[in-house]
């Protein structure tokens, strides 16, 4: 298929598992099963080279260090291939895709992350079509960014979130159009795709040295719970607020606590618990106190993108005030300006 050569990186996940008495576990010969599957497609696929991790990562166990390892592997092989397909578990696929987009800024070829809800060798597996289509899209010459392909949808990687544990259409991008819809033919949304950059701007700092924690507000949540989390001395906290960015402000101790954390150098970012729309923390009086406390509203970024971006910005060595400013600066199409 048009002479393209794709680097296929198998990191782990359901796609490469098989059922055992103890539940799903990595299959013994994933490379053989993959070769047998892809050989049956004839000449419809580009040439690929498989790079399989010797110890597959269960994506529920994936860490920022794992994101960095995958990004480093792509960067190290960047000149060897025309594009990349990364096979990954679905649980934290959106986090990894977002992190890759921040490490691999200015991509001039595709990095498509995919996987499956049902293992490759199981009946009714969604793995074959996800994998085959991801390879074809990677060879299309139309994509210059990190994307997630799943169940006929090509999505921007840092706009993606997992919405279902049971549907084969597990992922979507609530605040950004799909990059392509794939039926009999692939229909690209040209206006939604990132343009090809003039040059790559890769940033691959060491991840894993910083602590980013979430606080999800719920009715009746004691202020002591927030205090206990802040006592862990995180470098950044993502506040999952109600609606457009409201937080309980009846007890002034909460806002005072956030203000002290901000002054101590903790980066505080607010997102909405609702998947659609932007957070605007000054919309209601119940959120105005957070602005005074130094909380930054993260616009329409997904929770996964905020977490990954905070890890990335902190890893680059920026001081807290610069991280707050850079959080709202677009790096790879992750937010609406």
Q: Which of 72, 79, 145, 70 is nearest to 106 (CA)?
A: 145
14 given a catalytic annotation: yes
Report how far residue 159's alpha carbon sits from residue 62's, in angstroms, rounded to the nearest whole number: 19
| Active-site residue, from 11, 14, 90, 160 | 14
> What is the C-alpha end-to-end distance of the chain, expressed in Å?
38
β-partners of residue 212 are 236
Could you list the active site residues? 14
């Amino acid at each position: 298929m048009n002479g393209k050569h794709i680097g296929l990186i198998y990191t782990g996940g359901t796609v490469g598992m098989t059922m055992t008495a103890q539940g799903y576990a990595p299959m013994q010969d994933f490379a053989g099963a993959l070769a047998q599957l892809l050989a049956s497609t004839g000449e419809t696929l580009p040439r690929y080279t498989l790079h399989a991790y010797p110890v597959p990562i269960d994506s529920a166990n994936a860490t920022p260090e794992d994101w960095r390892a995958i990004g480093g592997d792509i960067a190290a092989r960047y000149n060897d291939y025309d594009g990349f397909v990364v096979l990954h578990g679905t649980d934290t696929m959106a986090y990894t895709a977002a992190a890759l987009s921040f490490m691999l800024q200015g991509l001039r070829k595709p990095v498509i992350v995919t996987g499956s809800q049902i293992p490759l060798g199981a009946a009714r597996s969604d793995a074959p079509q996800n994998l085959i289509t991801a390879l074809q899209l990677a060879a299309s010459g139309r994509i210059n960014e990190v994307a997630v392909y799943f169940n006929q949808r090509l999505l921007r990687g840092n706009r993606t979130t997992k919405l279902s544990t049971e549907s084969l259409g597990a992922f979507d991008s609530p605040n950004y159009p799909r990059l392509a819809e794939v039926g009999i033919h692939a229909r690209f949304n040209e206006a939604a795709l990132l343009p090809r950059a003039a040059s790559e701007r890769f940033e691959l700092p060491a991840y894993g040295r910083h602590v980013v924690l979430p606080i999800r507000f719920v009715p009746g949540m004691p202020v002591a719970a927030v205090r206990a989390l802040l006592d862990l001395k995180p470098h950044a906290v993502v506040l999952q607020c109600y609606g457009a960015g409201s937080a309980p402000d009846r007890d002034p101790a909460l806002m005072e606590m956030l203000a002290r954390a901000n002054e101590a150098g903790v980066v505080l970012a607010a997102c909405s618990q609702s998947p659609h729309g932007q957070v605007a923390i000054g919309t209601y009086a119940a959120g105005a106190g957070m602005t005074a406390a130094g909380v930054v509203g993260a616009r329409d970024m997904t929770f996964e993108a905020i977490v990954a971006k905070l890890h990335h910005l902190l890893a680059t060595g920026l001081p807290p005030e610069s991280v707050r400013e850079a959080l709202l600066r677009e790096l790879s199409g992750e937010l609406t300006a």
